[in-house]
């Protein structure tokens, strides 16, 4: 498979496939494709994995697109202003991402639910107790809110992240929750009660404008009428 990511701030990934190659997507991810792409829908690994996808913010069912009769084309566009990250998954490189990050992947990539080791990291870390984990072998395409900034943390190196700004990380990175110190900081600082602390080794990908933050910023300007 060859691919190209085009467009801002609503990007699209355009994949060029050879005969027999397959692409897995969440429901509704297809934007356009060549007529020789054949779609099938299934639970993708059984009820257990389907339930895990639902918990991690995705649909129970997955769509499988197979290229038939020669070369084909498949395009999947982002549903929110931001970026699309192409991540190479290998048996030694597992990626953990925010809920609803999954856009599409090659057939060899498996998505499962990822529980934080410590409950506090899940409940207060910004994206909920459940994240998405990608294993196997192949490329996965992830939706990132806003712009993405990448850091490579050395062993023991830490980064303090505001709620919701963690987009993805290598599985080697440890996640904990840190309480904001000082009553005045909590009451008047406008930064909430908790921050997420990421400890290396491993790469992290941070996003600049989580969807909930953008929704809150736009809410005062949205009016409803009869």
**Which of 139, 74, 152, 65 has its CA nearest to residue 102?**
139
Residue 44 has pLDDT above 80, yes or no: no
CATH for 210:
3.60.160.10
Mean pLDDT over 17-40 rounds to 95
- Beta carbons within 8 Å of 50's beta carbon, 6+ residues apart: 43, 44, 60, 61
HSE-up (13 A, CA, CB side) for residue 71: 4
H-only helix segments in 15-152: 47-55, 119-124
User: pLDDT-based confidence at 190, cuts 50/70/90?
Assistant: very low
Dump pLDDT digits (tens) for 192-219: 567 889 999 999 999 998 877 777 777 7
Structure tokens at 12: 């699209």
CA terminus-to-terminus distance, the chain = 50
pLDDT, position 24: 94
The pLDDT, as a whole number, for residue 213 is 75
Mean pLDDT of 41-52: 62
pLDDT at 214: 75
Q: How many other β-carbons are positioned within 10 Å of the β-carbon of residue 7?
A: 12
What does DSSP say about strands 166-170 and 95-97: parallel, antiparallel, or unpaired?
antiparallel
Residue 85 within a domain: yes
Contact 166, 98 (CB under 8 A): yes
- Given a cut of 80, is residue 125 above it in pLDDT? no
Query: What secondary structure, in 3-state letters, does 93-121 show?
Result: ECEEECCCCEEEEECCEEEEEEECCCHHH
Query: How high is the pLDDT of residue 211?
Result: 75
Residues 201 and 172: their CA atoms lie apart, in Å, by 6
Range of the domain at 188: 2-221
Average pLDDT on 164-176 reads 93
- Residue 10 CA to residue 156 CA, distance in Å, equals 36
pLDDT of residue 178: 78
- Is 164 a residue whose pLDDT tops 80? yes
Residue-level pLDDT at 158: 97
Mean pLDDT of 11-40: 95
**pTM for this model (two decimals):** 0.83
- Kindly tell me if the per-residue pLDDT of 159 is higher than 80: yes
> What pLDDT score does 195 carry?
80
Question: Which tokens sit at 4?
Answer: 């190209």
226 is a domain residue: no
Mean pLDDT, residues 148-165 taken together: 93
Predicted confidence (pLDDT) at residue 7 exceeds the cutoff of 70: yes
Q: Place 185 in a pLDDT band, splitting at 50, 70 and 90.
A: very low
Structural domain count, the chain: 1
Q: How many CB atoms lie within 10 A of CB 220?
A: 7
Question: Between residues 114 and 160, which one has the greater pLDDT?
Answer: 160
pLDDT at position 59: 65
How far apart are alpha carbons 207 and 37 in whole angstroms?
A: 33
Rounded-to-10 torsion of CA 211, 93, 204, 127: 30
Confidence bin at 10 (pLDDT 50/70/90): very high
């Amino acid at each position: 498979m060859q691919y190209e990511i085009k467009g801002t701030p609503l990007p699209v990934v355009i994949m060029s496939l050879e005969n027999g190659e397959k692409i897995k997507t969440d429901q509704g991810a297809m934007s356009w494709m060549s007529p020789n792409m054949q779609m099938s829908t299934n639970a993708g690994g059984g009820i257990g994995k389907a339930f895990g996808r639902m918990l991690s913010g995705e649909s129970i069912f997955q769509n499988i697109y197979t290229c038939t009769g020669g070369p084909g084309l498949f395009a999947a566009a982002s549903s929110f202003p931001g970026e699309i990250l192409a991540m190479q998954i290998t048996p030694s490189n597992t990626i953990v991402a925010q809920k609803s990050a999954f856009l599409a992947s090659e057939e060899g990539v498996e998505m499962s639910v990822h529980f934080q080791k410590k409950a506090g990291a899940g409940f207060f870390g910004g994206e909920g107790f459940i994240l998405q984990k990608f294993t196997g072998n192949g490329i996965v395409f992830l939706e990132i809110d806003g712009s993405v900034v990448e850091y490579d943390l050395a062993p023991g190196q830490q980064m303090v992240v505001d709620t919701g700004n963690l987009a993805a990380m290598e599985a080697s990175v440890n996640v904990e929750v840190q309480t904001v110190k000082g009553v005045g900081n909590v009451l008047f600082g406008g930064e909430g009660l908790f921050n997420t602390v990421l400890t290396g080794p491993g790469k992290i990908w941070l996003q600049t404008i989580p969807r909930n933050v953008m929704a809150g910023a736009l809410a005062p300007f949205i009016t409803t009428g009869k």
